[in-house]
């Protein structure tokens, strides 16, 4: 079965990368979450997509220049004008603590291309160990050096490179860096590529799959999982697809 991972949580309906969006994704029945992490000035791993807080909180500045206490005062539901309740930027620890009470898998994307965030890998792995989540966490990044470094710190933690473009024989590359999966942009994930990866024991979890036709293509090819902003739509389409294929 193709698993459904909620991109930044259930982000088509709730403020991205907030506990609300994660809890709503779990309530809806998504099997996994995809989240983005950065590091604060005082070394807290926090869940936010951009290097700057501007777009999602309406405040200004780089995450790296805020202490966690300062960052907590911002409202990550800024883009959702109709929501009455404010949503704080979560720490990774807060998310992991809650996750340990669920069965969710979580794909943590390390956003360390623009700023290196020295020491972030160690902090993430420490939290994975603290909450005993090694078998439910997948570390991904466009910074492949960072996930390879993470694997060297702890080979129990699964890694998956993000691939924005088509790569020739990605299963060979994945195996060479000890990755059990790849996360390609959905356009680059052709049926042939998905099949070859999976035949070679490499899971494929394309991002960000929001259109019905693309979802159906990945269900039909039996893709390991995909990452979507709208897990409710994906779950509905998967149910219809499964019903049809049983006939």
Q: What residues are labeled active site?
A: 7, 49
Restricted to residues 179-198, the positions that interact with ligand G3P (CB under 6 A) are 183
Q: What is the CA radius of gyration of the chain?
A: 18
Q: What, of Ca ion, ligand G3P, none, does residue 207 touch, CB below 5 to 8 Å by kind?
A: ligand G3P
Residues 77-136 that bind ligand G3P (CB under 6 A): 109
- What is the torsional sign of CA 189, 194, 198, 199? negative
- Could you tell me the two tokens for 87? 């949503």
Distance of closest approach, residue 240 Cβ to ligand G3P, in angstroms:
25
Q: Is residue 216 within 8 Å of 191, Cβ to Cβ?
A: no
Check: CB of residue 122 under 8 Å from CB of residue 92: no
Structure tokens at 235: 């779950």
Select from 78, 94, 95, 96 the least CA-distant residue to 86.
Answer: 78
Tell me whether residue 164 or residue 169 sits nearer to Ca ion (CB atom).
Answer: 164
To 10 degrees, the CA torsion angle through 161, 102, 211, 83?
A: -110
Q: What x-and-dash track marks residues 28-47 binding Ca ion by CB under 5 A?
A: --------x-----------
Q: CB of residue 207 vs ligand G3P: minimum separation in angstroms?
A: 4
Coil, helix or strand at residue 171: helix
Fill in the per-residue mask, 104 to 123: x = in contact with Ca ion (CB under 5 A), - = not in contact. -----x--------------
Q: Which is nearer to ligand G3P, 39 or 244 (CB)?
A: 39
User: Which CB, 49 or 136, lies closer to ligand G3P?
Assistant: 49
Residues 6+ apart with CB under 8 A from 1: 238, 242
Q: Is 227 in the site for ligand G3P (CB under 6 A)?
A: yes
- Residue 229 interacts with Ca ion (CB under 5 A): yes or no: no
Interaction between residue 158 and Ca ion (CB under 5 A) = no
Would you say 34 or 44 has its CB closer to ligand G3P? 34
3-state secondary structure of 245: helix
Among 110, 162, 209, 232, binds ligand G3P (CB under 6 A): 162
Q: What letter does residue 180 receive in the DSSP assignment?
A: S
Tokens of 244: 């049809």
- Number of residues interacting with Ca ion: please give it, by CB under 5 A: 2
> Which parts of 2-41 interact with ligand G3P (CB under 6 A)?
7, 34, 36
162 binds, among Ca ion, ligand G3P, none (CB under 5 to 8 A by kind): ligand G3P
Is 22 in contact with 11 (CB distance < 8 Å)?
no
List the Cα angle 203/205/210 in 5-degree steps: 155
Closer residue to Ca ion (CB): 36 or 158: 36
Footprint on this chain of ligand G3P (rule: CB under 6 A):
7, 34, 36, 49, 109, 162, 183, 207-208, 227
């Amino acid at each position: 079965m193709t698993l459904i991972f909620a991109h930044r949580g259930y982000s088509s309906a709730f403020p991205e990368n907030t506990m609300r969006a994660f809890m709503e994704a779990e309530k809806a029945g998504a099997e996994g979450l995809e989240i983005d992490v950065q590091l604060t000035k005082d070394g807290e791993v926090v869940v936010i997509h951009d290097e700057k807080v501007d777009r999602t909180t309406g405040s200004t500045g780089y995450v790296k220049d805020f202490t966690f206490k300062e960052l907590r005062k911002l409202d990550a539901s800024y883009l959702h004008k109709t929501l009455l309740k404010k949503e704080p930027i979560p720490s990774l620890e807060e998310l992991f603590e809650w996750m340990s009470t669920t069965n969710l898998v979580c794909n943590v994307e390390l956003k360390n291309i623009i700023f290196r965030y020295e020491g972030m890998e160690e902090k993430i792995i420490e939290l994975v160990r603290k909450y005993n989540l090694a078998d439910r966490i997948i570390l991904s990044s466009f910074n492949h050096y960072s996930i390879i470094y993470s694997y060297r710190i702890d080979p129990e933690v699964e890694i998956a490179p993000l691939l924005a473009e088509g790569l020739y024989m990605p299963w060979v590359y994945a195996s060479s860096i000890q990755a059990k999966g790849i996360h390609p942009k959905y356009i680059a994930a052709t049926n042939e590529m998905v099949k070859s990866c999976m035949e070679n024991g490499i899971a494929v979890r394309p991002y960000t799959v929001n259109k019905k036709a693309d979802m159906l293509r990945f269900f039909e090819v039996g893709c390991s999982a995909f990452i979507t902003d709208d897990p409710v739509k994906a779950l509905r389409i998967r149910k219809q697809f499964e019903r049809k294929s049983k006939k």
